[in-house]
Amino acid sequence: MKRKVKAKIYLTILLILITICLAGCWDSLELNKRSIVSGLGWDLDPKTGEVTFTVQSIVPGGGQSSSNISGQQQGGSQTRSIQVDKDTGPGMYDAITRLTQHVSRFPFYPHTKVYIFGKEGAQYGIYQFFDVQARNPDSRPNALIVVSAEKKASDIMNIPDGLEKIQAFGMAAEINLSAQYSKYPAVTVFDFQKRIMSKTTAPIAPIVGIAKEIGSEGREIKKLRVAGTAVFKGDKMIGELNERESSGLLWAINKVKIGFITVPEADLEVVKAKSKIIPELQGDKIKITVEISEDSDLVLFKRRQDITVGVVRELEKDLEKEIKNQVMASVEKSFALDADIFGFGEAVHRKYKKEWKELQPKWDDIYPQIEVEVKVDAHLKKIGDIYKAL
Amino acid sequence: MFRLLKRKLLQRTSDHKDEAKAGNDYAHIKLDIKLDDNLNRIRNILGESNDVIIREMKIGRNSNIDAAIVYIDGLVDRNLINHDILQPLMFNLPLIRDNVNQKHASLIEFFKSTVLTVGQITESEDMVTIISDVLSGNIAILAEDTAEALLIDAKGWEKRGIEEPGNEVSVRGPKESFTETLRTNTALLRRKIKDPRLTFQNLQIGERTKTFVTVVYIKGITQENLITEINQRLKRINTDAILDVGYIEQYIEDAPQSLFPTVGISERPDVTAAKLLEGRVAILVDGSPMALTMPFLFLEGFQNPDDYYTRPFFATMIRWVRLLGFLLSIYLPGLFVSLSAFHPELFPTELLVSVAAAREGIPFPVVLEALLMLLLFEILREAGLRLPRPLGQAVSIVGALVIGQAAVSAGLVGAPMVIVVATTAITSFLVVSYADTGVLFRLLMVIVSGFLGLFGMVLFSLEILSHLVSLRSLGVSYLSPLVPIDFKSFKDTFIRAPLWAMDNRPESLAPLDKKRQAPNLMPRASKSSQTGREKP
Amino acid sequence: MFLEKGKISNFQLGLLIIGFVFGSSVIISPGQGAGHDAWISVALGLMESLLIVWIFTTLAKQFKGMTIVEINSLVYGKILGTCISLLFIWYLFHLGAMVLDNYASFFKLEIYANTPRIIIILALVLVCISTVGRGIEVLARCSAILVPITILIAIADSALIIPQIDLKNLLPVLDVPISQILWAGHAAASFPFAESVAFLMVLAFVDITENVSANFLKSLLIVGIILIIVVARNFAVMGPMAAITNYPSYLLAQAIDIGEVLTRLEVLIAVNLITMGFIKVSVLLYGTVLGLAQVLNLHSYRPIILPIGILMAILALTTFGNSVNMLNFAQKGYPVYAAFFQIGIPLITLVVAKLRKLNPTGGSKA
């Protein structure tokens, strides 16, 4: 009896093996039949409604001879490390399918680091893309959202990036670095989804443009540059924040990590920062208090003067004023755009969930009327290696 | 029903066979009084082989007693025959002939008690015993008018000395290993354990080889069930030849259809002694320089004698290394295959870029590439093992350098695959007990992952797990103390607790004497030494 | 007649329960429908299920060493008992098919887009069949190894995502109407907690029956707390996205990124799903075949494992046309459907047994 059972068990194992073997390997695709996509561009022509899909893929083993110096002319002995393909079709999947007509390999998306939207497409609305993105298991929630400063996404996908072999990775690194230094936000798919799903909060995304320089032989060299923050309303881009406003935004939404602030007489390095949005319902009016506390170190003091307690206090005051101005600049801009980029609405929702039911439908009208107060509590911590002027 | 019938039938035929054999043979023959008849019979049985020596002689005062000694040349000690048997019989006997009739019941009795100056003597009138004793290196003495023979242990054949263990190398432990001689092996164990309760139980197995098999255990520690179970299993073996301990292993193991071994094997007396002291049973086989130990549990494979001879911290770390090595050796090629063919999204991006670069222009699918390389490695290993030693090294150089290097630069296999296979090759030898199990699982894992990717690998692992937990070795759950969980016995699994902390023998073996040592043996300075030179 | 000779310890039973409840809830969050208050629903569901479990463990305690099938035939008599037993067995069978369906949908969608469903389902079912063939003891021992690993992975997963947690996403508390939270709570009780009613087929083989009840509640509490943490964590990281995605935990694992080294860990969730799904399907398959064998008076349940397992696979292949139907059923129909088997049968049986004053094992504590 026991042996019979055992035989049966082995029979089952055999069965498993047979089924698996007969099954073949549907999902197996060799690496040399896939092209690894590093960056994805999405454009929509507002006139025709046609979608352009741009794929930047990694050339395996490309860019091996690393003799090129940044800014030097491209080509020569250098092999390509990326390849950019694009195609246009009446719909997104038409465009993707048409790509197969001139791309030899199956595009493989899960390693995509950036999703780039052409400005035109972004202004038209990018809901389509996010729908596909969220439905499709191939996408990663950590990829960064970028809006191209140029019309088309493909315009910035061909510009070689200095240090990185693969341009899209370089672009992602630039965005992350600028976010780390609290210049512009780095927005992942997750962040964007959260904001797009909120009824009031406006999505944001960094803008990447082209910076032109004159190189050694008088030739024009193009480089990538993070150049602003795009503000969306719903899924449509409606405006952008400049550098100062972007920093102000980051201060208000507690995204400042480190960075430098210039006040009239000194440069300061932010080492610690924290902010809080406190809503208050006063009758019909809404008052928002943004509380910011930050610590910073002195890195440059322009006056040739010893640093005394008085100077420190003075600097702190300047610092507070500067941060406040930055935040207010972004608030003004967001009021002008009528886009709740700070998530004030959600803050009110969290605190006044009953009242929120009435407030939410008319939030667009209420928003520009909000009274915003910024309270900054800045501290100067270290003053560097010297304690007197040179 | 049918099975029962079949078994009964089988039993009957085997009984029948025994009877038939007895008819032709000598099973029930007793010695005769006539010496000539006896010798003829022996000649008949032993045949015409020229290593059978039957030396007839005349002893007694007037050389009036016919006698003979029978032995196999080469198996006995010639000095002993000459000095201790022939000499006393032929020279001393005439002098004291008169004593015989007065003091001793028989001539044989007289020989035994007075004449022969050798250690181990038995007497027998049974032809079977005589023949088998002679064949295993004893000398038989027969005399006229006596229906009994004296059997003298005079084993003295050429044998290998005790050498360093070749397979289970230890850095700090003793450097002796078992040899082919059973007696030497038992002596090696006896030297380790001078406990009178250390018991050697002898059996002879094999219709034709009559191999001596010894079951070793320590009374009072080893659970009696284990001993009876082993004895039953050994007695069931009804085969004509036992040439090595491996034969016994295959006849008595618990899971003959499993890829996992359920019988432990060691060439080290110290390891065997340690296992005996834990409450296991060992089996020694004459002619084999290995000892079997049972029950064998899965985690035993990860233990190594050096673990116990060095301090516990490093030993614990190295255990984890072994575990990791074992897992790597099974999973790494499969993992690589499924990641690169099915789930490239799971590679870190940078790694994927370099793996993809190495993959360019390689003609085979990655599964085939992996199988080829693994197979190639097995071929090299086997060749290196079987060839004479100097040649074997040449083979490994050719294999490693020429094939590995050339295949990569010719673009036949990718460099990552070579790294994977090489890593696997090395790690698979970290755990010697499962080296061959590992090879099979690794190949299976690669095949499965080639068809279904990680999903297949996980399902296959589940099947292995469910198989493993269902295994038992001599009734002890194979995965214990993990399953069923026993935290007390964890001291010698994933960690190697200090010896002074391992107070108890492993619970899973249900030893009769649970305590290994007195409690609180943690070394500490005694009070007197604290009042030393240093002042507080 | 004893169809099962194996015995499992209380400890193994606890782990088996945890593994069973984890089952497909490794990827499918319970408490869907309550928005970011899902964790409250799960907590409510846990409390409800503790009550349910108390009912059926009391039943099991009163009839020691008996499966629900044997209890039924004792309490209701031969014919009615058999009918009720068959209903119960159908539930186990159907539940097994649903778990298989969940699991196949997940793999088909996320990882194996081109592999036919039948292969995905069959591969798992065959492993379950072979394990069930080895008896409940082997199954329990498997869970003793797999469940700690799963819990460890769940904890590691949660720990690694801490940098991305924003507790503000859980505010305001009780944002959706109470009725919705309560319904989601009941749904969370019916899936996954009270599905452990399947253990009425297993409890008979626990070696020490005295503290089965406490043990059962304890394991349920452990897995419940883990699930509450997991659900809360999902919302804290993903915000409203966690409410609309099919497999929030999987999506969340994709987002883990510690220094670009510890990243792309979603495969661990998939592994968890396979191992826990394996335990759940195996327990259900075991319950089905053992129950059927008892109803049909078979000598052994082993011969019917293979056919029943294959049937389960076929049912899983054909039940739901698409995931919208499945979702609809899971949120609206299932809590009602399951309540009959999870609460109805044990409660009625217990009451009838009390009324008939049946006390077969002479247990004085009942």
pLDDT digits (tens, 9 = 90+) for B257-295: 888 999 999 999 999 999 999 999 999 999 899 999 988
C241·A27 Cβ contact <8 A:
no
Residue A215, classed as helix, strand or coil, is: coil
Pick the last residue of a domain from A214, A241, A268: A241
B452·A23 Cβ contact <8 A:
yes
Residue A5, in any domain of the structure: no
Q: What is the mean pLDDT of chain A?
A: 86
Alpha carbon distance A52, A43 (integer Å): 5
pLDDT for B531? 54
**Are A143 and A270 contained in the same domain?**
no
Mean pLDDT of the B27-34 span: 75
pLDDT at B47 over 50: yes
Q: Which position has the higher pLDDT, C67 or B396?
A: C67
Q: Which position has the higher pLDDT, B288 or C174?
A: B288
**Are B93 and B238 contained in the same domain?**
no
What is residue C206's DSSP assignment? B
Query: Quick one: how far is CA B442 from the chain centroid?
Result: 26
Residue B314, in any domain of the structure: yes
Q: What is the mean pLDDT of chain B?
A: 84
**Are B22 and B35 contained in the same domain?**
no
Q: Which residues of C touch A (CB under 8 A)?
A: 109-116, 119, 122-123, 126-127, 129-130, 133-134, 164, 168-169, 171-172, 174-175, 237-241, 244-245, 251, 254-255, 257, 263, 300, 302, 306
**Are B394 and B446 contained in the same domain?**
yes
- Residues of B (483-522) whose Cβ lies below 8 Å from C: 483-485
**Are A299 and A373 contained in the same domain?**
yes
Tell whether B450 lies on the interface with A, counting CB pairs under 8 A: yes
Rounded to the nearest angstrom, the minimum Cα separation between B347 and chain C is 8
pLDDT at B116 over 50: yes
C-beta of residue C36 within 8 angstroms of C-beta of residue C175 = yes
Closest chain B CA to residue C266: B346
CB pairs < 8 Å spanning A and B: 77
Residue B456, in any domain of the structure: yes
Residue B158, in any domain of the structure: no
**Are A114 and A183 contained in the same domain?**
yes
Residues of C in contact with B453 (CB under 8 A): 111-112
**Are A69 and A175 contained in the same domain?**
yes
Alpha carbon distance B282, B287 (integer Å): 15
pLDDT for A295? 92
Mean pLDDT of the A108-130 span: 91
Residues of B in contact with C276 (CB under 8 A): none
Cα-flanking dihedrals φ and ψ of residue C358, to 5°?
-85, 130
Residues 6 or more apart whose CB falls under 8 angstroms from that of A336 comprise: A239, A368
pLDDT for B99? 54
Mean pLDDT of the B495-504 span: 87
Residues of B in contact with A20 (CB under 8 A): 448, 451-452, 456
pLDDT for B98? 55
Q: Name all chains with 3 or more CB-CB pairs below 8 Å to chain A.
A: B, C
**Are B433 and B290 contained in the same domain?**
no
Residues of B in contact with A36 (CB under 8 A): 344, 352-353, 356
- Residues of C (105-134) whose Cβ lies below 8 Å from B: 107, 111-112, 115, 119-120, 123-124, 127, 130-131, 134
Percent of chain B having pLDDT more than 70? 89
Residues 6 or more apart whose CB falls under 8 angstroms from that of C139 comprise: B466, C16, C131, C132, C279, C282, C283, C286
C127·B463 Cβ contact <8 A:
yes
Report the domain count for chain A.
Answer: 2
Pick the last residue of a domain from A174, A208, A241: A241
Residue A3, in any domain of the structure: no
Band of residue B404 on the pLDDT scale cut at 50, 70, 90: confident
CATH of the domain at A362: 3.30.300.210
pLDDT at C346 over 70: yes
**Are B315 and B444 contained in the same domain?**
yes
Percent of chain A having pLDDT more than 90? 41
**Are A208 and A325 contained in the same domain?**
no
Report the relative pairing of strands A114-117 and B264-266 from DSSP bridges. unpaired
pLDDT at A344 over 70: yes
Residues of B in contact with C270 (CB under 8 A): 454-455
Q: What is the pLDDT of residues B367-377, one digit of tens each?
A: 989 998 899 88
**Are B219 and B334 contained in the same domain?**
no
Rounded to the nearest angstrom, the minimum Cα separation between A27 and chain B is 6
pLDDT for C90? 94
**Are A209 and A280 contained in the same domain?**
no
What residue numbers bound the domain in which A353 lies?
243-390
- Domains with residue ranges and CATH for chain C: 10-348 (1.10.4160.10)
Residues of B in contact with C127 (CB under 8 A): 459, 462-463, 466
- Residue C77: which region, alpha, beta or left (left: phi > 0; alpha: psi -120 to 50)? left
pLDDT at C16 over 90: yes
Question: What are the angstrom distances between the C-alpha of B72 and each of A161, B40, B54, B77, B154?
Answer: 90, 16, 9, 10, 11
Residues of B in contact with A24 (CB under 8 A): 451
Mean pLDDT of the C189-195 span: 89
- Name the residue among C153, C109, C150, C112 with its Cα closest to residue C246: C109
**Are B445 and B466 contained in the same domain?**
yes
Closest chain C CA to residue B482: C145
**Are A262 and A227 contained in the same domain?**
no
Residue A264, in any domain of the structure: yes
Tell whether B158 lies on the interface with C, counting CB pairs under 8 A: no
Band of residue A158 on the pLDDT scale cut at 50, 70, 90: confident
Among candidates B346, B456, B458 on the partner chain, residue whose Cβ is nearest the Cβ of C264:
B346
Residue B175, in any domain of the structure: no
Q: What is the pLDDT of residues C60-117, one digit of tens each?
A: 888 888 889 999 988 888 899 999 999 999 999 999 999 999 889 899 888 888 888 8
Among candidates A9, A141, A351 on the partner chain, residue whose Cβ is nearest the Cβ of C133:
A9
Band of residue B97 on the pLDDT scale cut at 50, 70, 90: low
Question: What are the angstrom distances between the C-alpha of C271 and each of A47, A209, B326, B331?
Answer: 48, 42, 20, 14
Band of residue A73 on the pLDDT scale cut at 50, 70, 90: very low
Closest chain B CA to residue C257: B348
Torsion angle of alpha carbons A87, A93, A94, A100, nearest 10°? Answer: 60
pLDDT for A2? 53
Residue A66, in any domain of the structure: yes
Mean pLDDT of the B148-177 span: 86
pLDDT at A3 over 80: no
Tokens of residue C213, six digits: 């009840």
Q: What is the pLDDT of residues A179-206, one digit of tens each?
A: 999 899 999 998 999 899 988 899 999 9
**Are A304 and A281 contained in the same domain?**
yes
pLDDT at A71 over 60: no
Residue B104, in any domain of the structure: yes
pLDDT at A266 over 60: yes
Among candidates B344, B359, B451 on the partner chain, residue whose Cβ is nearest the Cβ of A23:
B451
Pick the last residue of a domain from B430, B458, B473: B473
Tell whether C11 lies on the interface with B, counting CB pairs under 8 A: yes
Mean pLDDT of the A368-377 span: 92
Alpha carbon distance A211, A227 (integer Å): 9
A5·C302 Cβ contact <8 A:
yes
Torsion angle of alpha carbons C135, C137, C140, C142, nearest 10°? Answer: -80
Pick the last residue of a domain from B296, B318, B346: B296
Closest chain B CA to residue C103: B455
Q: What is the pLDDT of residues B58-84, one digit of tens each?
A: 776 666 778 888 888 888 888 888 888
**Are A258 and A370 contained in the same domain?**
yes
Tokens of residue B76, six digits: 């006995």
**Are A380 and A362 contained in the same domain?**
yes
For residue A54, the one-letter residue type is: T
pLDDT for C207? 83
pLDDT for B19? 44
Alpha carbon distance A3, A5 (integer Å): 5
Q: Name all chains with 3 or more CB-CB pairs below 8 Å to chain C.
A: A, B
Burial of B355 (0-12, 13-18, 19+ CB in 10 A): buried
Report the relative pairing of strands B65-72 and B121-124 from DSSP bridges. unpaired
What is residue A208's DSSP assignment? E
Residue A1, in any domain of the structure: no
Alpha carbon distance B311, A206 (integer Å): 58
**Are A247 and A219 contained in the same domain?**
no
**Are B324 and B354 contained in the same domain?**
yes
Residues 6 or more apart whose CB falls under 8 angstroms from that of B358 comprise: A61, B414, B415, B416
Among candidates B453, B454, B462 on the partner chain, residue whose Cβ is nearest the Cβ of C275:
B462
Tell whether A15 lies on the interface with B, counting CB pairs under 8 A: no
Residue A85, in any domain of the structure: yes
Report the domain count for chain B.
Answer: 4
pLDDT at C43 over 90: yes
**Are B292 and B338 contained in the same domain?**
no
Alpha carbon distance C245, A276 (integer Å): 29
C112, C121, C141: which to substitute to probe chain B, counting the most B Cβ within 10 Å?
C141
Residue B67, in any domain of the structure: yes
Residue B464, in any domain of the structure: yes
B484·C9 Cβ contact <8 A:
yes
Mean pLDDT of the C208-226 span: 88
- Name the residue among C210, C193, C278, C274 with its Cα closest to residue C17: C193
**Are B393 and B419 contained in the same domain?**
yes
Tell whether C90 lies on the interface with B, counting CB pairs under 8 A: no
**Are B4 and B51 contained in the same domain?**
no
**Are B35 and B22 contained in the same domain?**
no
Q: Which position has the higher pLDDT, B488 or A315?
A: A315
Q: What is the pLDDT of residues B81-95, one digit of tens each?
A: 888 888 877 776 655
Has the ipTM of the complex gone over 0.90? Answer: yes
Beta bridge pairs of residue C118:
none
Pick the last residue of a domain from B296, B331, B358: B296
Pick the last residue of a domain from A219, A241, A263: A241
pLDDT for B516? 87
**Are A344 and A258 contained in the same domain?**
yes
What residue numbers bound the domain in which B1 lies?
1-26
Residue B417, in any domain of the structure: yes
